[in-house]
Amino acid sequence: MVSSRPAESSSRPARYELLTLGDELLLGLTANGHLSFVGSQLGRRGVLLQRNVTVTDEAATIEQEVRRSLAESDVVLVTGGLGPTVDDRTREAVAAVLGQKLVFDESIRDAITARFAQIGRRVAENNLRQAYRFEDGEVLPNANGTAPGLWFERDGKVVCLLPGPPNELQPMFTEQVIPRLERLGFLRQREAYVQIRTAGIGESALELKLQPVLQPFGEALSVAFCAHQGHVDCRLSSPSGALDLVRLEEIAGTCAKLLGEDFICLGHDSLGRVCADLLRESEKTLAVAEAATGGLLAHAFSDLCGACKFFAGGVVCCSQDSKMLLLGVPECLMLQHGAASAECSVAMATGVAESLQADYGLAITGFAGSTGGAGGNPIGAIHLALHTPQGTWSRQLSYPGPRGTVKNRSVNAALDWLRRELLRARSGSTASSSKFGALQ
């Protein structure tokens, strides 16, 4: 067993590796969400995950990779292959590497039995394969599934096995794994970096704009840019430790001032959350209507806790009929200008705000699909409209690209417009006149 070491005192930071198992990852059937989740959880606690390996779930392969990772790292996290079926071989393979016997654990069996009883099912023979732990290891109970996590420490190193389903892994990681790693001094109390989130400015333009602020710090400051679909993040860190977090935050603050309205936030808040905070603050409500983005815009808000307080609801249109029926868009307007038009987007924004008695109405219409638009509208031509207490405006965007990209960019463009409008309303300006983010 390792002895606990005080946080931040070790000369060498703990080295973490993540081993994600499953043919479904290698076949591209399931995205490797565990890398995103574990990587960001560790990143927020001052640790950069050093390596992630995804391999098939054959016993010999698992053994080889665990042996390699264990030789090179302090903490080896392994996900997947703990299920009840014959293709779940992680437990046995890791036990072989560690030279540990697997012992039947009655507490696990009781938890599995209780879980099955709760959902009115009988425990099958193969489910009891999950009731084994390493002889010198510990069990991490699973509140959301049958496979418990397994924890093993030796010679200052940790091996931790986690179940594959994200809804089981994630709470287990934050509630049980993180506190254990903290106790061992394997985490820091703070993020490894400060993130500046921006919209309306491209990656290279952002780099040029921030250069006068960032360049003077030379080698002491590490800067990384990452472009997403509708916003660009800039990460500041100091791998040498020459600049502490307070100093990094000061530098980020200077950047934020320089960026003006293009600055969204420090950290990881989504555009939806930033808009939600501004709506709550001003005690205003929002309704949305969307044709090209089919539910994604509504989801940006309804996914937030307590959304009912500021989000009045949304309408997802598909046919021309539904626009008219639910939003009161006049038929003659649709016939004259088409469903994917500035005129229609304005009628949608106003219509949904009035129908749902909301202060703001945000609408998206256009053609995101690959089968193109009628009436001379090219694929990727999107119309946004924003209804506010001061008036209603529309904007046209054009995003050539695959359907998913067009949808995400359209939603982010709409949210960014609303964000700028709410900022402007807060500062007392009344006209929707400022720059509209030309999202890259």
User: Rounded CA gap, 176 and 4, in Å?
Assistant: 16
Closest distance of CB 293 from a copy of itself, Å: 8
- Interaction mask 365-394, a copy of itself, x per CB under 8 A: ----xxx-----------------------
Nearer to a copy of itself, 137 or 148 (CB): 148
- Interaction mask 253-282, a copy of itself, x per CB under 8 A: ---------------x--------------
Using the contact rule CB under 8 A, the part of the chain among 25-33, 150-158, 241-249, 423-431 near a copy of itself is 25-33
Closest by CA to 364, choosing from 325, 311, 324, 417, is 417
Binding of residue 23 to a copy of itself (CB under 8 A): yes
Closest by CA to 198, choosing from 305, 286, 274, is 274
Closest by CA to 365, choosing from 271, 419, 294, is 294
| Interior angle at CA 438, CA 222 and CA 248, nearest 5 | 20
Using the contact rule CB under 8 A, the part of the chain among 32-40, 180-188, 343-351, 420-428 near a copy of itself is 32-40
Closest by CA to 323, choosing from 363, 360, 359, is 363
- Interaction mask 123-142, a copy of itself, x per CB under 8 A: -x-xx---------------
User: Rounded CA gap, 321 and 361, in Å?
Assistant: 20
Classify burial at 369, counting beta carbons within 10 Å of its beta carbon; exposed 0-12, middle 13-18, buried 19 or more.
middle
Q: Which of 3, 9, 85, 433 binds a copy of itself (CB under 8 A)?
A: 85
Chain positions 53 to 72 lying near a copy of itself, rule: CB under 8 A, are: 53-57
Sheet with strand 232-237: strands edge to edge: 222-227, 232-237, 194-198, 263-266
User: Rounded CA gap, 199 and 255, in Å?
Assistant: 13
- Work out the number of other CB atoms within 10 angstroms of the CB of residue 10: 12
Closest distance of CB 277 from a copy of itself, Å: 17
Q: Which of 14, 15, 21, 43 binds a copy of itself (CB under 8 A)?
A: 43
- Interaction mask 320-359, a copy of itself, x per CB under 8 A: -xx--xx----------------------------xxx--
* Half-sphere CA count of 330, side-chain side, radius 13 A: 6
- Work out the number of other CB atoms within 10 angstroms of the CB of residue 71: 9
Q: Which of 229, 238, 341, 412 binds a copy of itself (CB under 8 A)?
A: 229
User: Rounded CA gap, 399 and 45, in Å?
Assistant: 37
Binding of residue 307 to a copy of itself (CB under 8 A): yes
Closest distance of CB 201 from a copy of itself, Å: 11
Q: Considering CB under 8 A, how many residues would be counted as binding a copy of itself?
A: 109
Closest distance of CB 54 from a copy of itself, Å: 4
Using the contact rule CB under 8 A, the part of the chain among 101-109, 166-174, 249-257, 383-391 near a copy of itself is 166-174
